Copies of this chain bind each other. A is one copy, B any other.
Amino acid sequence: MTNIKDIALHCGVAISTVSRVLNDHPDVSQDTREKVLRAVKELHYIPNTSARNLVRTSSDTIALLVKGVNNPFFARLIKVIGREIAQRGYSLELHHMDTSEDELRIGAQLTNERKLIGILFLGGRFNYSPEEMALIHVPSVFCTYTNTFGNLNPSAYSSVAIDDKQAAQDAVDALVALGHRKIAILTDNKDDRSISELRFQGYKDALAMHGIPFEPNLVACTGTFSDMRAIYEATSRLIERDSSFTAIFAIADLMAIAAIKALSDHGKRVPEDCSVVAIDGLELSSYTLPTLTTLVQPAEEMGLLCAKTIIELIEHPGQNRQYTFETVLRPGGSVCRLNG
């Protein structure tokens, strides 16, 4: 393996000169700089930064625990988080979990087994208890967690999320404003103490506020956020059971895309025969036919804030904090006025 001495020998300069070039010191002539950089390339020299890392800390690894890896909204968050953490000089270790696993137990086990300096959680329940939180002995940030069903003290956890209930209400409001009253919902789950239940509650609250009776018949549970076939089939069963609805609120963009296909296969055009609104705001759903009307979650901002917060908690241990982002309606071609 080439080392810094080889480079110096090859170029006929002092080791300290090579070092100055590699560390971008100004007092090196342009000629020498070019010669050294050429040699670095030709001899395939890889700077060894281990020593530098050892000075800083025994570990620089932040774990990212993801529950639901097929979720394209998560993919955007992971990308931003990965970039920011690398830029700040830390390493990111990714762990995927099945939806059947418990994120806090896995997180606790990881901190025991590995030298982690922080954990980011992505996806999971919304009902943590103080006893469960006490399992995590390193700084942590929960991306998408809200404490709705939990009983944590705000000082006990950090989180970045949207107001899921409000977003669901906004989606239903948008449909009601277009004259719809028979509004079906496509949700992962009704009682998972997590994001699906919260959006389902927002749907029910919005109906109540508009004086629209809740109809259990118009609730379709998919059991998944990402399995398109299961979502398609749940929508098909809904249509075959009760096709009186004129609009669907899907709690995620991918669900809406599969629903539009199911509606089309049952002879229902979107938006003429059925309007569809979702939550997510994926770039993809601006390019489907029709384009999707959806409440946009600011994925880039959320991912960046998750990364910044965990690094801040690691570098300057301090108070936990909770951030909530607003969603914004992105108009698309999947809704229209009832009988309009």
Q: Could you tell me which A residues sit within 8 Å of B by CB distance?
A: 1, 44, 46-50, 53, 61, 64, 69-70, 72, 75-76, 78-79, 82-83, 86, 91-96, 105, 108-109, 112-114, 131-132, 134-135, 137, 227-229, 232, 254, 257-258, 260-261, 264, 283-284, 286-289, 291
Contact = CB atoms under 8 A, between A and B. Distances in A.
Contacts of A109: 46-47, 49
Contact of A91 (B46, B93, B264): B93
Among A96, A108, A264, which residue has the most Cβ atoms of chain B within 10 A? A96
A284 B131 contact: no
Nearest to A259: B287
B95 A86 contact: yes
Contacts of A105: 46
A267 to B, nearest CB: 13
A46 B96 CA distance: 19
Contacts of A229: 283
11 contacts: A1-B137, A44-B132, A50-B113, A53-B113, A70-B79, A91-B93, A92-B94, A228-B287, A232-B287, A257-B284, A258-B287
Nearest to A134: B44
Given A82-B69, A94-B92, A132-B44, A113 B49 contact: yes
B69 A287 contact: no
A132 B93 CA distance: 26
Among A44, A105, A227, A260, which residue has the most Cβ atoms of chain B within 10 A? A44
Contact of A92 (B83, B95, B254, B284): B95
A105 B46 CA distance: 7
Given A50-B112, A69-B82, A228-B284, 12 more contacts: A44-B131, A47-B109, A48-B113, A64-B94, A72-B75, A83-B96, A86-B95, A91-B114, A92-B93, A228-B287, A288-B288, A289-B289
A224 to B, nearest CB: 12
Contacts of A86: 95-96
